[in-house]
């Protein structure tokens, strides 16, 4: 199965289409992006298409609706999650200004925990926050100095 993105005039992904491998093969039986584009252009009467790869072997990321195709980087880039997040040029994805917490399966006091915490980015506070699903008012902030969770 080959996947192709339908792009608007600004290279924003409008749709992702899966095609049978037979439809994308050239006369030698080799998958060819241009053959897939020709097929889709004929069917949809739309000519701006790019192939996307689920294994990320090309174009950095598997595209989704709303992603942008960046021709200079030959990469699909997801929408920016938060204004403070920075584009990682190597991976072409967005990084928070504070590294994602390295300790996810421990309570704030450092003891191992089998609970699940919902970890979210707090844009206003520029920090990671963990919410305890079992305790409605239980929340913790990631302390980048101690690399541990502080109870809030």
Cβ pair 67, 76 in contact under 8 A: yes
Task: Pick the closest to residue 98 from 57, 48, 133, 141 (CA basis).
Answer: 141
Query: Cα–Cα distance between 106 and 114 in angstroms, integer?
Result: 8
Cβ pair 119, 130 in contact under 8 A: yes
Query: Cα–Cα distance between 24 and 40 in angstroms, integer?
Result: 10
**Could you tell me the pLDDT band of residue 40, with boundaries at 50, 70 and 90?**
very high
* Per-residue pLDDT at 100 exceeds 60: yes
* Per-residue pLDDT at 44 exceeds 80: yes
* Per-residue pLDDT at 111 exceeds 80: no
Single pTM value for the model: 0.81
Query: Cα–Cα distance between 45 and 33 in angstroms, integer?
Result: 17
**Could you tell me the pLDDT band of residue 47, with boundaries at 50, 70 and 90?**
very high
Helix then strand then coil, % of the chain, to nearest 5 = 10, 35, 55
pLDDT at 147: 79
* Per-residue pLDDT at 130 exceeds 60: yes
**Could you tell me the pLDDT band of residue 98, with boundaries at 50, 70 and 90?**
very high
pLDDT tens track for 10-28:
999 999 999 999 999 999 9
* Per-residue pLDDT at 57 exceeds 70: yes
Domain range list for the chain: 2-80, 96-152
């Amino acid at each position: 199965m080959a996947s192709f993105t339908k792009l608007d005039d600004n290279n924003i992904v409008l749709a992702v289409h899966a095609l049978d491998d037979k439809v994308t093969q050239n006369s030698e039986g080799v998958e060819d992006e241009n053959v897939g584009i020709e097929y889709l252009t004929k069917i949809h009467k739309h000519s701006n298409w790019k192939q996307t790869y689920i294994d990320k072997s090309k174009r950095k990321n598997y595209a989704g609706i709303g992603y942008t195709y960046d021709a200079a980087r030959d990469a699909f880039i997801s929408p920016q999650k938060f204004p403070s997040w920075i584009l990682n040029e190597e991976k072409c994805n967005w990084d928070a200004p504070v590294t994602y917490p390295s300790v996810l399966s421990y309570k704030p006091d450092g003891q191992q925990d089998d609970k699940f915490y919902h970890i979210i980015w707090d844009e206003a506070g520029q920090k990671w926050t963990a919410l305890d699903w079992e305790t409605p008012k239980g929340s913790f902030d990631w302390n980048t100095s101690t690399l541990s969770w502080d109870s809030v």
